[in-house]
Chain A
Amino acid sequence: MNKVLAGLCGGAVLFGALAWLWAATPSGEVADMRGRDTITIVLTEKGFTPRDFTVSRGTAVVFTTTRGNQFWPASNEHPSHDLYSEFDPKHPIDADASWSFVFDRSGEWGFHDHIRSYFTGRVYVE
């Protein structure tokens, strides 16, 4: 009887651990773009591409768009942009223009398009 109970418990715990691991695993991909002086992030119809990315401190990130609309990349939170207040061009960028920002603060910085705040992304600065 003890062996039966041990077997039942062991099986349940093993499955629980596997289920937990599955649920806990982050689903999004983070593009590794470290080691480059300059990278480009493009706002497409599907959002920022890549959406989540890692860069080295001091990297210049150039934001452009293929949507044909103005855009305004800026730090969270919307609409105050106060988590990383320098990460804000303070005005819309024309559809055929770009905006460059040098990330010189380490950390994890959520950002969005201020004009269409449903387009979001996250930059990890190391």
Chain B
Amino acid sequence: MSNKLVITGILGIALAAPALYLYAPVVSANVKLHACADLREDGEQIECIFRVIESEMERGGVDPAMRVFSKAYDDFHSFASTGCHRYAHRVGDLVYYHQYLGSDGIESIEFPQSTTACGYGFYHGFLEHLIQDNPYPDFVTKTCVYLTGRLQSDMSDIAIICYHGSGHGFELAESERVPRSKWGNLHAFVDGPLARCGEMSEATAREIEECRQGVFNVIVDWMAEKQYGFTYNAARPFAPCDALPTAYVYACYYEMAQKLDSVSGLDPVVIARIAESAPTTALADVAFRVGVAGIIQQTIADGKGYEASLARCATLQRLFFEGCIASMISGLFEHGPPQREYEKPFELCAESVVADAGMSKECYTAIAFRLKRFYEPARVNDLCKKIPEDFRGPCEE
């Protein structure tokens, strides 16, 4: 082989090396992800996707892992079709295991903007285990104050998310103390964690309420899975809540309503009927709104994600229709594609049925209030400009 050929070969390697070093792993991850599409069962696909996510996390950290997460959301119906929140939880689990345990602490972990995806599910997953392993109000306060100081400018809801995740953690820790003889006894499981929620010295009333919701969120999941002696009461979903002290009833209703999609045939009209049985207007309102948002979790990956719900909502009285629109917007944001959650909400507000009902203001207002939850300030400014000027007010506050 001539010397010239060898030398130019070496030059070729040297020139190509930086680009290939940077991009080969990314291309490789995409190839591995693409291979998951060959698997026929949804469960197998999800497992395959998480092998790639975990591999990317081990290689490069949270950011590349979330990039695979985002791509999986776009490319796999199975990933988005029943709600991506639990999969975001799982990424939080991975970060807790691979990056937090054995580390110098939370300060060493990166939290890219993409971790707001799927209703901040990442933080629920990460924090529930952090607090499960440290179920002390002072530790929660210290953690949430730290995360708020570090992230709130770009993730406006991080404080309430932190307290909500902590409620999860208190409940998970409590489950290890409750004897099997007390399984199915709601008070045995929630009294301690709810009391701990109230002991956090620097939490606002809203944050304490989020902590309580976190406690009940875990209980409701156990009910849905028939674990720890709990079962979801399909006939009277809110019956367990009605027996609680007044301070806890709203949080209980909020979380029980998350599962109304399973007993309503995904029909907002049925949810309105169930909600009407609540003893107060406030409880009926939260049951309806959360229930409708839960429907969107199940339909978001099909077509526009909201057509059937919008059509049914339009048959309701104006007050319910308004609540429906706000809830659909909420659901579309909570379960939408990472960092593109705004797309379907804008489509919904542009639907003629919304304008014909004179609900455009309510619709765009609901979008305006959601933007800061997911996007950093510069992006919020850009997206505000997509809102018709007449309805842009809340966005610019």
Residues of chain A having any CB pair with chain B under 8 Å: 3-12, 14-16, 19-20, 22-24, 26-27, 47, 69-70, 76-80, 82-83, 91-92, 108, 110, 115-120
Contact = CB atoms under 8 A, between A and B. Distances in A.
A8 B11 contact: yes
Given A7-B6, A78-B90, A116-B129, A16 B12 contact: no
Given A12-B16, A15-B20, A23-B24, A83 B9 contact: no
Give me the 3 closest cross-chain CB pairs, A-B, nearest first. Answer: A11-B12, A7-B8, A11-B9
Contacts of B7: 7
Nearest to B218: A79
The range of chain B's interface size is 35 or more
Nearest to A6: B5
12 contacts: A4-B4, A10-B5, A11-B11, A11-B13, A15-B12, A23-B29, A23-B59, A26-B55, A83-B43, A83-B44, A110-B47, A117-B90
B94 A9 contact: no
Contacts of B16: 11-12, 15-16
Interface of B: 2, 4-13, 15-17, 20-21, 24-25, 27-29, 31-32, 43-44, 46-47, 50, 55, 58-59, 86, 90, 93-94, 96-97, 101, 129, 132, 172, 175-176, 180, 221-222, 225, 227
A77 B20 contact: no
B225 A115 contact: no
Nearest to A79: B225
B176 A24 contact: no
A37 B223 CA distance: 37
Contacts of A3: 2, 4-5, 8
B9 A77 contact: no
A8 B176 contact: no
B172 A115 contact: yes
A8 B172 contact: no
Contacts of B101: 118
A26 B172 CA distance: 33
Given A11-B9, A20-B24, A78-B90, 14 more contacts: A7-B7, A7-B9, A8-B12, A9-B12, A16-B16, A19-B20, A23-B25, A76-B47, A79-B221, A83-B43, A115-B176, A118-B96, A118-B129, A120-B97
Contacts of B227: 79
B172 A77 contact: no
Contacts of A23: 24-25, 27-29, 59
Contacts of A69: 176
